[in-house]
Amino acid sequence: MENKASTEPGANTDFGASAAIEANAEIGVIGGSGFYAFLDDVTEIQVDTPYGPPSDSLFLGKIADRRVAFLPRHGRGHHLPPHRINYRANLWALRSLGVRQVLGPCAVGGLRPEYGPGTLLVPDQLVDRTKSRVGTYFDGLPLPDGTVPNVVHVSLADPYCPAGRSAALKAARGREWEPVDGGTLVVIEGPRFSTRAESLWHQAQGWSVVGMTGHPEAALARELELCYTSLTLVTDLDAGAESGEGVSHEEVLQVFAANVDRLRGVLFDAVAALPSNEERDCLCTNALGGLNPGFELP
């Protein structure tokens, strides 16, 4: 099953066709729209998938002579709330372009006083507290072309790629911005922020940061045998870690804007530090373990 890409909006709707995709990339970045502003030779394309359209067009360009595809997670203008993002289409679209390694920066709240605004934390664990999101490709439901996925159970014991985490940490160090190596990201449904009781409970579990988009991105990436790395930027102390009035949307936007240039620099250096797709030797590359998903990976 292949997808078709086009530079013309709506030009292709037959995702089952066997036409080759001329556009290609090896690394994907799912994040805000500002991250592709400094790419070289940018091309905007649209990709059709069996799961509907991704959040937006994909922007292809080069960083350190490596082909990169950027995808605005919430769409341009931030019009998609976390629970309405088409995560399956996003990951599928990236893989269909040749992407095998994905960096997923996101804004989070700190659950400990030491993880204050401006902290960069590269998590090594994930807790899913979402409610209504489709979190698998292996649901046994027919796709539009009649293909029926098998029910396959994939391990997510270690949800993030070790090579990707290493590259992200290496890129962040030495910038007067020492990253936090490891921690647990708990993902809530959103779009509202946590109640103080919920936040205190998250804190009591020993979790590190709370966000709204880290799941099901990591799980879907693993099902597609993609290497996935999360880079979390703390924009606020969550309600249970501070004594004020709680989190505000305005506060989140202000802190993110103040740190976006630094985060962009880390992402660009991480792209350069990632292994080539041919050199990948982590468990992500064989997550299915030879099991038949019932469809052809793009």
Give catalytic residues, as residue numbers: 236, 238
Under 8 Å CB-to-CB from 147, ≥6 apart: which residues? 1, 50, 294, 295
> How would DSSP label each residue in 15-63?
TTS-PPP----SEEEEE-GGGGTT-EEEEEEEE--TT---SS-EEEEEE
Q: Give the CA count within 13 Å in the CB-facing half-sphere of 231.
A: 33
Beta strands in the chain, from DSSP E residues, in sequence order: 5-6, 27-31, 40-47, 58-63, 66-72, 101-110, 120-122, 125-129, 180-181, 184-188, 209-211, 227-237
58-63 and 101-110 beta bridge pairing: unpaired
Do residues 238 and 34 make contact, with C-beta atoms less than 8 angstroms apart?
A: no
State which amino acid sits at residue 108.
Answer: V
Do residues 274 and 164 make contact, with C-beta atoms less than 8 angstroms apart?
A: yes
Token pair in block for residue 76: 């341009």
Burial (0-12, 13-18, 19+ Cβ within 10 Å), 162: middle
What dihedral angle (degrees, nearest 10) is formed by the CA atoms of 139, 145, 146, 148?
Answer: -30
